[in-house]
Structure 1
Amino acid sequence: MFEYPALYQTAGEMSAESQAATLNLIRGEYALLFLAAVLSMNWSKEPIFFVIYTGVLLGSLGLLIKRNSEKPEQGWYRGRALAESIKTSCWRYCMRAEPFGDADTVQTVKAEFRNHLLEILKTNRFIGDRMPPDSLAKEQIPDSMQYVRKLQLVDRKAFYLAHRIQEQREWYARKAGANKRAGRFWGKIGVFAYIVAIVLALTRIALPDWELWPIEPVLVFASAIIGWTQVKKFNELASSYALTAHEIGIIQGNIESVETEEALSDFINESERAFSREHTQWVARQQS
């Protein structure tokens, strides 16, 4: 496997950091709202109790304002889209696929690829301040990429099949299964929370003198589960990833008929469009 340009690594790291920040803020909001619901049960009449209660509500509001103002999810989506764009360009370059087909000299096509990366960087200037100083000195076309590009047609086909098609198919299949299991798990947790709330509501009829009923915290917990599944889109991603895995499996069989550089170029571009289609659509849905 070859190394990707420093720009790809930076975009991937930015996406991962922004994703973690987004999900941590959401977790924090849900946790504080649940705590506020617990405190709303009026455990005490002391002024300090209501001061703490107010502090929890202010903390939740602060996290909401922080998430809406900083919008870390944009860095998550934009960074991932940028990384995938660079990744697919790298594979086109290594496989000598258009627009990085054979040229009169190696320097010519390397210059074309550098210009391509430069255009990507200009379009995504937000990545500039995220690049660590040590990555700025790294080669944007690593030697390993150049090594793969020099391979003969049959060897490049085998390399692409093993390190791109099969790895992508396994990744999508694995993610489809993981999201399907996660969707079922959180769905069961949500149903259980609602059942607990219903049981508590019915029990309250039999015990009207009991003052502390945790119905509101349980309902807030159930709502948080619903919100979390909507954020993570487990079921939607499970379906999308499964369909993409099947599509890649169909495309995989077409590589056997590739016998020329032109045919390989067409095959590579068709495959890369399939790899990026699901992700691009998902990012668009997230930003709409």
Structure 2
Amino acid sequence: MTDDQRLRSSDLPELFRVADAASLEGQRLYIRGTRLRLVLAVTAAALAAVSLQFGNGWDLPALIVAVVFLGTLVLEIWLLGRSPERDWYDGRALAESVKTLSWRYAVAATPFSASLSDEDAERHYVSEAEKLIDDAPATSVIVTAPLGVTDA
């Protein structure tokens, strides 16, 4: 297969790029949140093993542990509310579905019969892409460009 026969990400419609970007942003936020959650938990555990009294009997590491646990709780609530893993998975699923649909269109595979006219095949492609959007869960994927077939 030569390079000009490959279907690249840049050849795919805007819907793919938007879904892919939403997936990557969800992945980035989820990984950062998980990393921070683990750092906070390890920090709290390490400080909990230490005792350092000062002033009127205040234990500095215990105070820091309390603050770190509070930070962990706030982060956990944010992750539950924002749910970046949902954006990651939903965006990825939509992007891969668009890629599959585009590949099928490009090679005249089912449901794009080679006997269809170019206009009918493109109309069917747009209809199928609209179904993908309708079936997709509500995520951070916002389509602004019109659906259609790219030149590639």
Task: Structure 2: give runs of 5+ residues left out of the alignment.
Answer: 1-5
The aligned counterpart of 1:74 is 86
**What TM-score do you get using the length of structure 2 for normalisation?**
0.82
Match for residue 121 of structure 2 among 109, 129, 146: 109
Q: Which one-letter code corresponds to 2:135 in the other structure? A: T
Task: Structure 1: give runs of 5+ residues left out of the alignment.
Answer: 145-288
Q: Deviations over 1:7-62 (max 9, x none)?
A: 11111111111111111111111100111112112341133723322111111122
The aligned counterpart of 1:284 is none
1:16 aligned onto 2:27: no
Match for residue 61 of structure 1 among 56, 65, 73: 73
Q: How many residues are treated as equivalent by the alignment?
A: 140
Q: Which one-letter code corresponds to 1:27 in the other structure? A: R
Q: 2 CA distance for matches of 1:113 and 1:10?
A: 18
User: In the alignment, is the contact (CA less than 8 A) between 2:125 and 2:148 conserved in 1?
Assistant: no
Match for residue 130 of structure 1 among 141, 146, 151: 141
Q: 2 CA distance for matches of 1:14 and 1:29?
A: 22
**What TM-score do you get using the length of structure 1 for normalisation?**
0.45
1:120 aligned onto 2:132: yes
Say which SS state the counterpart of residue 113 (structure 2) adopts.
coil
* TM-fit CA distance, 1:65: 2.0
Q: 2 CA distance for matches of 1:104 and 1:119?
A: 20
Match for residue 26 of structure 1 among 23, 34, 39: 34
Pick closer, same or farther for the CA change 1:139–1:79 going to 2, 3 Å. Answer: closer
* TM-fit CA distance, 1:105: 2.1
User: In the alignment, is the contact (CA less than 8 A) between 1:7 and 1:140 conserved in 2?
Assistant: no
User: In the alignment, is the contact (CA less than 8 A) between 2:15 and 2:147 conserved in 1?
Assistant: no
Q: Deviations over 1:167-216 (max 9, x none)?
A: xxxxxxxxxxxxxxxxxxxxxxxxxxxxxxxxxxxxxxxxxxxxxxxxxx
The aligned counterpart of 1:6 is 14
Q: Comparing 59-68 with 77-86, which one deviates more in the overlay?
A: 59-68
Q: Which one-letter code corresponds to 1:86 in the other structure? A: V
Q: In terms of Rg, which structure is larger?
A: 1
The aligned counterpart of 2:3 is none
Match for residue 102 of structure 2 among 81, 90, 94: 90
* TM-fit CA distance, 1:100: 0.6
Q: 2 CA distance for matches of 1:60 and 1:7?
A: 36
User: In the alignment, is the contact (CA less than 8 A) between 1:114 and 1:140 conserved in 2?
Assistant: yes
Say which SS state the counterpart of residue 143 (structure 1) adopts.
coil
Pick closer, same or farther for the CA change 1:19–1:43 going to 2, 3 Å. Answer: same
Q: 2 CA distance for matches of 1:95 and 1:88?
A: 11
User: In the alignment, is the contact (CA less than 8 A) between 1:5 and 1:140 conserved in 2?
Assistant: yes
Pick closer, same or farther for the CA change 1:114–1:11 going to 2, 3 Å. Answer: same
Within 5 Å, give how 1:199-210 maps onto structure 2.
Answer: none
Q: Which one-letter code corresponds to 1:37 in the other structure? A: A
The structure with the largest helix share of the pair is 1
Q: Deviations over 1:124-150 (max 9, x none)?
A: 2625x533xxx7236631111xxxxxx
Q: 1 CA distance for matches of 2:116 and 2:31?
A: 49
Q: 1 CA distance for matches of 2:81 and 2:144?
A: 30
Q: 1 CA distance for matches of 2:91 and 2:39?
A: 28
Aligned-residue Cα RMSD (Å) equals: 2.0
